[in-house]
Structure 1
Amino acid sequence: MTAVDAAATPGPGGTRPVHRGEVDGVPLLWCDAPGPLRAHLMLRAGWADETLPTRGWTHLVEHLALAGVGRPGEHSNGRTGTTVTDFHVEGGPDDVVAFLGAVTRNLSDLPVARLRDEVGVLHAEQARRGGSTMDRLLSWRYGATDYGLGGMDEVGLSTPPPADALRHWAARRAARGNAVVWLSGPPPAGLRLHLADGEHVAPPDPNRCVAGALPAWFTDHDDLAAALAVVPRGWASPALRHVAQARLVDRLRVDLAVAYSPVADYSPVSGGEGWLLLHTDLVGGRQSEGVGPLLRLLDELGGDEGAPGAVTDADVAGFHDAARRQAAEPYAWASDLARASWDTLLRHVGDTAAPTDVTAAEVRARAREAAASLLAAVPRGLGTYRGRWVPALATTADPVQGTVRRALGTTETVVTSPDGVSRTTEGTTWTVRRDAVAGVLHRPDGQRVLVGADGVQLLVEPTVWEDGAGLVRDVDRTFPADRFVAMAPRAPGQVPVPLSTAPGPPRPTRTEVLDRWVLRHRRLALVLWLLLVMLVLGGPAAFLVVGGGGPPPTVAVPLFWGAVYGAIWSFRRRY
């Protein structure tokens, strides 16, 4: 049943009033806007709620919820994000009623008969997806859990998950207390949402960081630089984004001409926090000229009033003007409704002030908060840029003590114990401990990939280690069974062999050995070649001339030097 409050509040941008109510126990927001009726069902569930063994389950639930509901992408669709999954439709009132009714029925009783088919579709979708700078920033900041999973493949779908486990996953998150609906018009007659009872699920804490002290940096691609900060929600954060965007473009694109498209972006992620991302491409050979200004930007913006580069009243006035222009746009109501719905879903107490009320002092303070939480990706070969920047920690686990095994053909070692596994390569030790393991990917041929909560990955190939079968047994005994993820079998040719038994290059022939020597010693080889020619041809010719049994000197000498020149010509032609 639908109940709508009589009172309405102005939109966050001061545009069309937002009405609030509920439908079947789910919060409902709507405004009276022109055009076709648009509807969004939002669940407080995303890939940040998963674990490595369940990576991809939220995406699979989204696909199953849409099974048999219209033609995907035509007038309706779904999207799985970091902390929110969204189902949306556009059409007439009957279309909206039918879509939301069918989707919520599927969420309450997943059509698991299509489970295997949809897993195949998701494999095809994943094959088209590439990694991004944001993925790598999140992996370094959060490891291989919650927000850090965005950069990892959907390994939880390597094989179809158990239907009962998937139903339990959906029931916990697709619940009345964990959803919100917004509409671009009054609720149509007959609107019902068939969701199960359930409570709100809070998103993970975005403030944690496994990279150690901040601000910190790590090396990434040579042609870009980026930095990610966690900032409080509130109008000061989008205002900071606006000012940072203008400064980046002015400095990197216009003044220095070291970048083409510098960008600043802000997005809410939880009830109290959002992400501020600074990102730029870089002109080859001039990377250091662009990275320094990007990493110093927030410090400059957060300086004291009147300091060089600090946020000014004029900077914030530009944000105010942009907010007024956005509020005057014909579809401003859509962003207002979406923002209000996000706030409702994430349990964020919305700002009572308008965006035009934010001050320069507030934006400077927000810049200082952001600067203190920066994690940056910089090109290789570029180090820190100010005293308090430190290298991000690549691993946080202490090595274990136990059974030592050596790699065949190399000096690497691996240590197994009930506490975890350590591997030493070129003097660096990497460890995944039992009490901090995100997952263990395993294949039938014995391969194991141990993934630590801090993001460290240890590859174990039994064919390249002493007592490889025993190594695999130790690994399997060490880690909890619920952390293992079955992966697809490999072709025999993909299984590695140790260096000591790997087939080497074919032995060179005698001609090839001679050619290589000649190419390394061209001058000496030419002298030896000429001596050989003179010995073979010159000696007999001289004997015949002196003995009177050969041609006269006028004929023999040209023949001799012709042979010498021929020898030189043949040598240079070959080498």
Structure 2
Amino acid sequence: MITRLEVDGVPAVLGPTTGPMHAGLAFRVGVADETLPWRGLTRLVEHLVLDGLGAADQQHNGTTGTEHTFFHVQGTADEITAFLGAVCDALREPDPGRIARVRERLRADGRGNDPLALWRHGARDFGLTGYPEWGLDRIGPEQLRDWIARYFTRENAALWVAGEKVPEGLKLLLPSGERQPARTPSSALPAGPAWFSGADSDVAWDAVVDREARAAVFANVLERQMFRELRQHEGISDTVRTDYQPRAGGSARIVAYADALPEKREAALSGLVGLLAGMRAGRIDPEDVTTVITLTADGLAEADTRGGRLPGLAFNLLAGRELKDLEEAVAEVRAVTPGDVAEVALAAYDAGLLMTPEGTAADGAGYTAAPTHSESPIAGRVHKAIRDPRHHLVSGPDGVSHVIGGEAATVRYDQAVAVLAWPDGARQLIGPDAIVARVEPALFRGAATVTRDVDARVPAELRIEMPARDPERIPQPPAAPQRSRRERVTPYVSIVVNVLICLLLAGVVVATVVSLGTGSSLGGRGTGADLTAAAICLVMAWPAGRAVPARVRELRERWAGR
């Protein structure tokens, strides 16, 4: 029996457990609430709190997720009271002296490896789980206090306790604030189903659907089919799995993954694509649905005896969602039919995003390539690449474009979500759709001015300072081609010849003009002949004169590219 109550203004759920007593304090804040320049801020708060509690052990821990951060403890009533009270104390008075130590530990741990989220949502909210924690180095005491004051408050918290009663001495002395609403997921995909190429031989897929019991059943039915087809029958994958991730706002994310050896990447791709297409067409095995429903209902009942459902109920409290008791939750699952699963499969397929193995594509399977470039370049000055005609840079008052093969990666200054800045002058502007415009001063003529423009026009709060790069890792233009002696001398000879021709013909024209002025005639031919000769000389001198500036420009560009 789940009981709702309140502890020091914090809403709470209490439920019995057959195992050790445990409790948790959850806050409605996670990675999705951050911005790219401050990526890592929430996890720093979490670890700073735990660091202040002494050496960590297996009886208490903290977790930062996409939407929630929580602190969990297992033990006696006194141990729970002491731990949760210390968490609140650390949040009220964070110790800035520990920031550097915690930062180093988090940097060594590393986070940000969800390419599906990045490609689906871009460089914001739910897509930030695909990025490194670039904000760690810039977080100071002020930013820490502001973040805690906004998100780690009494009104933005929920408590769960698995045991007979709430410990009598438990105090949750949190500062007052406001309940933070669930973030609305953004989208960087213009259409679905979509695909992009991954960085290895694995294949993965995700979809965002309505949050409901039949969607959770679909996810588990898909895993059973993947296990049967990709592992047991074909031996393509050693590891297959799916994950159902409910979100506070009423949607849910379903993720499917299958590994593969490089030589089996095509088979893994075609296998997963075929399974998804079959389920979309309604090929749902009723026995799979029955088995999943039974396992899910049994799992809910077993979790309920251990208090395992309580964290999810606490998250629902924060989201303002209805709290279902065990009987209601099981009844909802048992009501799911194969037809329900087929409907979810259809919706999930159309909203799906497929990560194909490196070097493969899914165009032929009816998937649309996820956008890798912008619709058009920015208007502005063109900076040619040194000795590489395949790409160029465009900079203007509105932004920067990196154009490769006619396709532009454009980021407008007023839409940039971050700019990575290296000491060598390189800059990377990141747009909300995760499109990146790269500025490498060594590769483009006059690119140093672009670096100055970027630094002047992008707000300082969006700037992420990057460590110095190894000189060998700084991109360089292609090596200058080796030219023969004749090729090196030809431009100079051409200039000299053209100048001499121009001087000779100009002398003829001048002599003609002088003769006309004195009333004499060159060669006794008469005035008409003289004028004709002068006109012919001018016509002949014109191409020779035009060739000189062109040759000079050629030499200047050659020397500039050395």
Please, what TM-score do these two structures have when normalized by structure 2?
A: 0.79
Q: Supply the distance in 1 between the matched residues of 2:448 and 2:363 (Cα, whole angstroms).
A: 48
> Identity of paired residues, percent?
34
1:39 equivalent to 2:23? Answer yes
Instruction: For structure 2, list consecutive stretches of 5 or more residues without a partner in the other structure.
Output: 483-562
8 Å CA contact 1:137–1:228 kept in 2: the answer is yes
1:91 equivalent to 2:64? Answer no
Within the candidate set 180, 183, 186, 1:204 is matched to 183
SS in 2 for 1:285: helix
Aligned to 1:4: none
Displacement of 1:116 after TM fit?
Answer: 1.9
Aligned amino acid, residue 87 of structure 1: F
1:260 equivalent to 2:244? Answer no
Q: Supply the distance in 2 between the matched residues of 1:376 and 1:460 (Cα, whole angstroms).
A: 30
1:329 equivalent to 2:331? Answer no
Within the candidate set 71, 75, 84, 1:100 is matched to 84
Aligned to 1:71: 55
Deviations along 1:363-417, one digit per CA (max 9) or x if unpaired, are 2222221111100011245433666421111134531011222233323321111
SS in 1 for 2:84: helix
Displacement of 1:62 after TM fit?
Answer: 0.8
1:338 equivalent to 2:311? Answer yes
1:469 equivalent to 2:442? Answer no
Aligned to 2:289: 316
Q: Supply the distance in 2 between the matched residues of 1:156 and 1:391 (Cα, whole angstroms).
A: 31
Residue range with higher mean Cα deviation, 490-499 or 465-474:
490-499
Aligned to 1:138: 117
Aligned to 1:226: 204
Aligned pairs (5 A) from 1:344-493: 344-350=317-323, 352=328, 353-384=331-362, 388-396=366-374, 398-411=376-389, 412-490=391-469
Q: Supply the distance in 1 between the matched residues of 2:182 and 2:303 (Cα, whole angstroms).
A: 33
C-alpha distance 453-493 of structure 1, shift in aligned 2 (>3 A) = same
Displacement of 1:64 after TM fit?
Answer: 1.6
Instruction: Tell me which protein shows more helix as a share of its residues.
Output: 2
C-alpha distance 490-291 of structure 1, shift in aligned 2 (>3 A) = closer
Aligned amino acid, residue 203 of structure 2: A
Q: Supply the distance in 1 between the matched residues of 2:257 and 2:472 (Cα, whole angstroms).
A: 41
What value does the CA root-mean-square deviation take over the aligned residues? 2.4
Deviations along 1:191-234, one digit per CA (max 9) or x if unpaired, are 1112122222223223x421221001111245221110001112
Deviations along 1:171-195, one digit per CA (max 9) or x if unpaired, are 1111122111111111101211121
C-alpha distance 109-395 of structure 1, shift in aligned 2 (>3 A) = farther
Aligned to 2:166: 187
Instruction: For structure 1, list consecutive stretches of 5 or more residues without a partner in the other structure.
Output: 1-16, 505-575
SS in 2 for 1:116: helix
Deviations along 1:250-283, one digit per CA (max 9) or x if unpaired, are 2222233322222222111333011111211235
Aligned to 1:513: none
Aligned to 2:553: none
Residue range with higher mean Cα deviation, 492-501 or 423-432:
492-501
Q: Supply the distance in 2 between the matched residues of 1:381 and 1:499 (Cα, whole angstroms).
A: 25
8 Å CA contact 1:116–1:160 kept in 2: the answer is no
Aligned to 1:241: 219
8 Å CA contact 1:301–1:311 kept in 2: the answer is no
Give the number of aligned pairs.
475
Q: Supply the distance in 2 between the matched residues of 1:492 and 1:291 (Cα, whole angstroms).
A: 39
C-alpha distance 437-332 of structure 1, shift in aligned 2 (>3 A) = farther
Displacement of 1:89 after TM fit?
Answer: 1.2
Displacement of 1:332 after TM fit?
Answer: 4.5
Deviations along 1:44-84, one digit per CA (max 9) or x if unpaired, are 11111111111111111111222321322342121111111
Aligned to 1:288: 266
C-alpha distance 254-34 of structure 1, shift in aligned 2 (>3 A) = closer
8 Å CA contact 2:183–2:249 kept in 1: the answer is no
Deviations along 1:496-552, one digit per CA (max 9) or x if unpaired, are 5544589x9xxxxxxxxxxxxxxxxxxxxxxxxxxxxxxxxxxxxxxxxxxxxxxxx
Aligned amino acid, residue 148 of structure 1: G
Displacement of 1:322 after TM fit?
Answer: 0.6
Aligned amino acid, residue 71 of structure 2: F
C-alpha distance 350-212 of structure 1, shift in aligned 2 (>3 A) = farther
C-alpha distance 396-18 of structure 1, shift in aligned 2 (>3 A) = farther
SS in 2 for 1:171: helix
C-alpha distance 154-381 of structure 1, shift in aligned 2 (>3 A) = closer
Displacement of 1:349 after TM fit?
Answer: 3.1
C-alpha distance 367-478 of structure 1, shift in aligned 2 (>3 A) = same
8 Å CA contact 2:16–2:306 kept in 1: the answer is no
C-alpha distance 381-187 of structure 1, shift in aligned 2 (>3 A) = same
8 Å CA contact 1:303–1:311 kept in 2: the answer is no
Displacement of 1:480 after TM fit?
Answer: 2.6
Aligned amino acid, residue 257 of structure 1: G
8 Å CA contact 1:67–1:111 kept in 2: the answer is no
